[in-house]
Amino acid sequence: MDGKDVRSYEKDDLHRKFGVVFQNDMVFNDTLRQNISFGRDIPEDRLTQATKDAMAAEYIAGLDGGLDYMADIKGANLSGGQKQRLLIARALAAKPEILILDDSSSALDYKTDASLRKAVFENYGGTTTILIAQRVSSVMNMTNILVMDNGRCIGYGNHEHLLETCPEYRDIFNTQMGALA
């Protein structure tokens, strides 16, 4: 990583380089602020920016107490999309060097998903982003796309290359984007 053997990093230093969001990650019975800061010393301006970039600021502002709103265990008092945006804000808050989003926008509508991806690419341009998604629209603007089927790589390249060379990707694209085969 950055020309350095990852085994030479202290574990905590290595962990700090990553921001990770899983589709069904954990929301704790605590304030939204604490769920985002996650025990890290995150300045208020970074918390605010992370919520904006994660498309969470608007819904948080509408909650009683804003960032001090108390989330129930497992975020039971939040919608699926609200939880996912909260978790994305958590990952973005520390400005990670590597961001892994594992189907973390599955509960978001297409417009919010697109706005979130735009904010990530505009405000975290130096961050290596690994995006795992079921939606072609979520990955089609990525530099490189790896198409997998049953644990096997069946296609690799950018969107245009995959449309030409990977029948499975083309089929998914046509099905999801409404194009005729």
Domains assigned to the chain: 6-134 (3.40.50.300)
Percent of the chain with pLDDT over 70: 98
Residue with tokens 């449309």: 163
Name the pTM for this structure.
0.88
Longest dimension (CA), the chain: 52
177 to each of 56, 86, 120, 137, how far by Cα in Å? Answer: 26, 28, 23, 8
Residue range 102-161, pLDDT digits in tens = 988 888 888 998 999 899 989 998 899 999 998 898 899 999 999 999 999 999 999 999
State the average pLDDT over residues 66-91: 96
Tally Cβ neighbours within 10 Å of residue 140: 18
pLDDT at 170 over 60: yes
147 vs 107: CA distance, rounded Å: 21
Residue 114 CA to residue 17 CA, distance in Å, equals 25
Candidates 19, 14, 12; CA nearest to 4 is 14
Pairing outcome for strands 98-102 and 18-22: parallel
The model's pLDDT over 17-59, given as tens digits with 9 standing for 90+, comes to 999 998 778 999 999 999 999 999 999 999 999 999 999 999 9
Per-residue pLDDT band at 181 (split at 50, 70, 90): very low
Each residue of 92-115: pLDDT tens digit?
999 999 999 998 888 888 899 899
User: Could you tell me the strand order of the sheet in which 128-132 lies?
Assistant: 18-22, 98-102, 128-132
pLDDT for 179 equals 57
